[in-house]
Amino acid sequence: MSMRSVGLHVLADISGSTSPLLNDGSGLEVLMRQAAEASGATVVMSHSHNFQPQGTTVVVVLAESHVSIHTWPEWGGATIDAYTCGNADPERLVDLVIAGLAPTTVRRATVPRTVPGGPDDAGFRFAEFITPVDRYEHDLAEVLAEGTTEFQDFLIGRSEVWGRMLILDGVVQSTEADEFIYHEGIIHPAMYAAASVAPVTDVLILGGGEGASLREVLRWSTVERATMVDIDGDVVQACRAHLPQHHRGSFDDPRVTLLHEDAVAYLRSLPDDSLDVVISDMTDPVEDGPSTFCFTVEYFEQIRRILRPHGVLAVQAGPSSPVEIALHAKVIRTLREAFEHVIPYAVDAPCYGRDLGFVIASQDPLDDRLTVERMALSGANLTGEHRWLTLQLLVGKLSVPPYLSEAIAGRTDVFRDATPPSTARAAGWES
């Protein structure tokens, strides 16, 4: 990787210590200064602050950065933080502090630190939180575009593994290496289902800033009008400029209308029974994000109103791994408040590190429309070749695993405008 590495950051949480140093700021200062010097660091200054009735905080400033500790004597615990650059060894530093406190339990992590940007390095590392306690780190060899819009933070970068990728609010949305799995997965089940009844002529995409969902919709030759509504024009413009392999010119197709409006408000402006397929290709719901109210009963009821009787909705419904199943199951339960027929399915999403859940919904039955034989007929108007999807694979994906069925059955609550998703700012996580 083209990367400017500037040091190591060691984090340690301890418990089970009976050392009197946990309540002795001056004594801890001595221990930490000695540990720093023994690890090859240069001590610049130190300070301690004792709390009443107990506990202390100590910070030691190093020429190479710092080491700090905060204690909870009543629990026999402390949190330790050591970061150094140069030749100092923060792991040895933390080892020596821990040895001086003799805890029974230690949890620790070492994080390489890098500096983004600069004339000699166009890349950096960022961490995406999968759950509040798990993260997935990515190294970018190059940053192509980044900024903060009215709605979100965005970054388009190049990974030497995944190719170009779009990141919104610190969460990977898609990568060149595997975006075809996501976009074939969200678009074509709904299109096959709708096309099995009547030619698909009118499609609405809500979100989908990269243009790859639009690309897949336009592969259906019967499509006469494809409207894409994405609230963030700055992000779409960046994707047009820097993700050409995602959209492949789809924004310039004469069948396309591109609008930068709020999806919820736009839905209210549409006439009843006017669309064959709606794709809700929104980001995961996080507090104060642009998609918070795109997973509620009211949102789905508006989509039901504008779909033709045989029309189909496809929804990006969050990760579907067993540890994140709560939000996904609640989205499905919410959809069942608005639609008679709802089928969840998952795609394997390598860049996310776990499966991603989609849902299709319609007022008319779906199962008999999604057989291999019927899809083979309805797909006669589909151009190009799939890279991931096969008809047999899709039929298998529509079989709901028992753990998901149990999770859905266990939900009686739904998302409403008055009670939208709350995710602890971790994508797909229900707090």
| Annotated catalytic residue within 281, 348, 355, 368 | 281
Which pair of structure tokens corresponds to residue 29? 């200062």
Q: Could you give the C-alpha distances from 175 to 11, 30, 321, 401, in angstroms and in order?
A: 31, 50, 20, 27
330 close to 293: Cβ distance less than 8 angstroms: no
Sheet holding 153-159: strands in order across? Answer: 142-148, 153-159, 163-168, 171-175
- SS3 assignment for the chain: CCCCEEEEEEEEEEECCCCHHHHCHHHHHHHHHHHHHHCCCCEEEEEEEECCCCCEEEEEEECCEEEEEEEEHHHCEEEEEEEECCCCCHHHHHHHHHHHHCCCEEEEEEEEEECCCCCCCCCEEEEEEEECCEEEEEEECEEEEEEECCCCEEEEEEECCCEEEEEECCEEEEECCCHHHHHHHHHHHHHHHHHCCCCCCEEEEEECCCCHHHHHHCCECCCCEEEEECCCHHHHHHHHHHCHHHHCCHHHCCCEEEECCCHHHHHHCCCCCCEEEEEEECCCCCCCCCCCCCCCHHHHHHHHHHEEEEEEEEEEEEECCHHHHHHHHHHHHHHHHHCCEEEEEEECCHHHCCCEEEEEEECCCCHHHCCHHHHHHHHHHECCCCCCCCHHHHHHHCCCCHHHHHHHHCCCCCCECCECCCCCCCCCCCC
Does the annotation count 281 as an active-site position? yes
- In one letter, which amino acid is 286? V
77 close to 98: Cβ distance less than 8 angstroms: no
CA-to-CA distance for 263 and 299, rounded, in angstroms?
9
Q: What is the largest CA-CA distance in the chain?
A: 79
Residues recognised as catalytic: 281
